[in-house]
């Protein structure tokens, strides 16, 4: 019975809100559209969208606008779908052209400019800070860097280090801060 239904009769039922007719219409054209679209999407655009996505978008757009579609001849709906799909393919290609090529950055890439931290406390203070930081225990150094340099909360510090509680992380950071201050003061006295 479904094979005898014309596209025009299915479209009329879809306009009346018949979900079954909508499903039959999608099933009827899904494979044809997939076959037609296969290989038409430029290779560079395939990481943003694939043929299946574009076919689904096409059917959604077509069925959402079915009230505006006027079938004037046999095959008009397929031509309408094909036009929408072609526009979807062109749109995907345009979106890819708007995105610049991506390339891997070298692992040893260094910023030539001073960091905001360097600007504030100066290069010599950074050297003193780094030297003192290296003299902390590994656990203190890690806790301090997570909290102060990376802005972790005490809970996040505890979780990252496998610590028992927020309070334990707070105490570890406090001890590290105190020890760091002592080490930097000792360096200044020399």
Tens of pLDDT, residues 65-77: 888 887 777 778 8
Where in the chain are the domains?
2-98, 116-189
Tens of pLDDT, residues 82-126: 999 999 888 888 887 776 666 787 877 777 776 666 666 676 777
Tens of pLDDT, residues 151-185: 889 999 998 899 899 999 999 999 999 999 999 88
Looking at domain 2-98, its CATH architecture is Orthogonal Bundle (1.10)
For the domain with range 116-189, which CATH number is right: 1.10.10.10, 3.20.20.10, 1.20.1250.20, 3.40.50.300?
1.10.10.10
What DSSP line would sit under the chain, residue for residue? -GGG--HHHHHHHHHTT-HHHHHHHHHHHHHHHHHHHTTTS-GGGTTT--HHHHHHHHHHHHHHTGGG----STTHHHHHHHHHHHHHHHHHHHHHHHSPPP-PPPTT---SSPPHHHHHHHHHHHHHHHHHHHTS-HHHHHHHIIIIIS---HHHHHHHHT-S-HHHHHHHHHHHHHHHHHHHHHHHH-
């Amino acid at each position: 019975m479904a094979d005898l239904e014309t596209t025009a009769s299915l479209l009329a039922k879809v306009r009346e809100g018949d979900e079954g007719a909508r499903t039959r219409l999608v099933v009827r054209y899904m494979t044809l559209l997939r076959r037609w679209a296969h290989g038409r999407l430029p290779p560079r655009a395939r990481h943003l969208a694939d043929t299946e996505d574009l076919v689904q978008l096409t059917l959604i757009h077509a069925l959402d606008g079915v009230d505006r579609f006027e079938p004037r001849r046999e095959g008009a709906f397929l031509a309408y779908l094909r036009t929408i799909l072609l526009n979807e393919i062109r749109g995907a290609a345009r979106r890819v052209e708007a995105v610049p090529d991506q390339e891997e950055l070298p692992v040893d890439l260094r910023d030539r400019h001073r960091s905001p931290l360097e600007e504030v406390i100066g290069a010599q203070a950074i050297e003193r800070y780094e030297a003192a930081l290296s003299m902390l225990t590994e656990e203190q150094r890690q806790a301090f860097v997570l909290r102060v340099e990376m802005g972790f909360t005490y809970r996040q510090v505890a979780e990252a280090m496998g610590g028992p509680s927020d309070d334990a992380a707070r105490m570890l950071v406090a001890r590290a801060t105190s020890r760091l201050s002592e080490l930097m003061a000792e360096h200044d006295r020399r």
